[in-house]
Amino acid sequence: MLAINARNAVPHYAIGNLAAHGDPIREGQDPLHAVGVERRYAANQTVFQEGEPNEHMFRVSRGVLKIFKTLGDGRRQVTGFLYPGDLIGLGAGVSYAYTAEAITETALVSCRRSKVEDLINRSPAVARWLFSVASTELTAAQDQMLLLGRKTAVERVTSFLLNLAERAVLRGEDSDRIHVPMTRYDIADYLGVTTETVSRTITRLKALGLIRLCPNNCIHLVDADRLTELSEDEGELSRTG
């Protein structure tokens, strides 16, 4: 996942940490922005829905969004939370495979897919960039599959919190006081559990003194090392808890 250093002379759609991919796309050279249009969305507003024709790619300038898939009977799976710098609409297919919805007030740079193709044709650097972004997403998706398929509730929640913290660092934010703008319901649908389980697990972590809930949807990670242990080995909880 890509992110930016928000404070900057260069506009907030700058690319940021792409250097991590060894790619020559640098801050202030967002290739999508050159050919795209910025659009704004209110909290809870839908950007596009699963099944609609897949005509645009988006890049998050400001705000947080979620993307999710839905089953006929209403069951949802949130497949990602998107932060500034992230791309939406990478997936293949003639129609979107998921719904995208703003969690906070949001600004996106929108770009027709045909223009993206043009960019790839004209610039190998852009091609490598997009390929590397998709590859990074793929790696993250595999981590999430491991979480959904094999991790316990405690491991899921701690993994989630640490993941938010990691991404906050990439955006140049504080890593142990993380902002959590999504609801328990969204988190539950992301982690493949219920809101009650998320709530109980957070309560438990709080009771263990590993985290602290602050006002404004903020969570203070008091003992990140211990949380890291819990994110990979539930057994730890009984041995020391």
Could you identify the residue written with the tokens 């949001």?
106
Q: Which uninterrupted H or E stretch holds 145? A: helix 124-150
Would you state the structure tokens that stand for residue 179, as one six-digit string?
A: 């902002």
For a copy of itself, the binding residues in 221-240 under the rule CB under 8 A are: 232-233, 235
Which of 20, 185, 212, 240 is close enough to bind DNA by CB under 7 A?
Answer: 185
Partner from DNA, a copy of itself, none contacting 90, C-beta within 5 to 8 A by type: a copy of itself
Which of 8, 46, 135, 203 is close enough to bind a copy of itself by CB under 8 A?
Answer: 135
Crossing angle for the helix pair 113-122 and 124-150, nearest 10 degrees? 120
Q: In terms of DSSP bridges, do strands 218-221 and 56-62 run parallel, antiparallel, or are they unpaired?
A: unpaired
Distance CA 69, CA 81 (A): 13
Distance CA 177, CA 202 (A): 15
Total residues at interface with DNA (CB under 7 A): 20
**Is residue 146 a contact point for a copy of itself (CB under 8 A)?**
yes
CB of 147 vs DNA, minimal distance in Å: 11
CB of 71 vs a copy of itself, minimal distance in Å: 6
CB of 73 vs a copy of itself, minimal distance in Å: 6
Which of 22, 94, 215, 239 is close enough to bind DNA by CB under 7 A?
Answer: 215
